Amino acid sequence: MLATQCLRGFFSVSVVMFALAVLSPLAYAIPTELFFSEYIEGTSSNKALEIYNGTGSAIDLGTAGYNVQMFFNGNTSAGTTINLTGTVSNNDVYVLAPSTADVNILLKTNQFTGVAVSWFTGNDTVVLRKGSTMIDVIGQIGVDPGTGWGTSPTGTANATLQRKSSIWGGDTNSADAFDPSIEWNGFTQDTFGGLGTHSVAAPVPIPSTLLLLGSGLVGMVGIGRKRFKK
């Protein structure tokens, strides 16, 4: 009799736990802020910056005050500041480029800058900001590395860099050493084929969801052990 009750309890509690675990929508961590997803430092004025939005919502760049800054040759003050305009949809990218760039860049460009705006070469630091808050940096402010950081094609000079799909957020430290190979894949100079799209690796369940799944399994095992002790 006691064994039957235990068995019934075991199954009912287990079923409830599994139902909770299975029916709860899995919550996934997603990027919380914009970040650079591609950097092109090509021949002549073939430059571009691609910014990825994986935040789950469209963002009005102008209203939110996003801007790009370039720090030339180790300078600690920005030589170029470009205020971004327009809207970037969720899971989409926004491309900034000089109006004199290659047509294959311009076809993917959302915002052009005029000829009066100076763009980076390989030894310049590039920053993405929201208002005055730095949210991503390529390079190291105050440092002139010579030709560039890293080695072409995984370098800031004469190369195209695409952010690794495992990276979910910007580098917010402009003062530490910069090694492009940690967060970027490099491609030969004037590679334009990846511009206009970006994807991040499959999302993983956030800890609270894992906790729920774990508690369901632990609950089942605990009750199962009690049953067999009787």
75 is a site residue for Ca ion (CB under 5 A): no
Considering the complex, state which of residue 132 and residue 176 has its C-beta at the smaller distance from Ca ion. 176
Cβ of residue 208: shortest distance to Ca ion, in angstroms? 30
Cβ of residue 72: shortest distance to Ca ion, in angstroms? 5
- Here the tokens at position 179 are 């090694």
Considering the complex, state which of residue 10 and residue 52 has its C-beta at the smaller distance from Ca ion. 52
Cβ of residue 106: shortest distance to Ca ion, in angstroms? 23
Cβ of residue 173: shortest distance to Ca ion, in angstroms? 4
111 is a site residue for Ca ion (CB under 5 A): no
Contact 99, 155 (CB under 8 A): no
Whole-angstrom Cα Rg for the chain: 25
Residues 22-61: x/- map of binding to Ca ion (CB under 5 A)? ----------------------------------------
183 is a site residue for Ca ion (CB under 5 A): no
147 is a site residue for Ca ion (CB under 5 A): no
218-222-228-230 Cα dihedral, nearest 10 degrees: -170
Piece of 57-65, 168-176, 179-187, 217-225 that binds Ca ion (CB under 5 A): 168-176
- Here the tokens at position 89 are 């949809």
CA–CA separation, 172 vs 129, rounded Å? 10
Considering the complex, state which of residue 89 and residue 118 has its C-beta at the smaller distance from Ca ion. 118
Residues 115-144 that bind Ca ion (CB under 5 A): 121, 123-124
177 is a site residue for Ca ion (CB under 5 A): no
69 is a site residue for Ca ion (CB under 5 A): no
Question: For helices 207-229 and 2-23, what crossing angle results, to 10°?
Answer: 170
Binding site for Ca ion (CB under 5 A): 72-73, 121, 123-124, 171, 173, 176
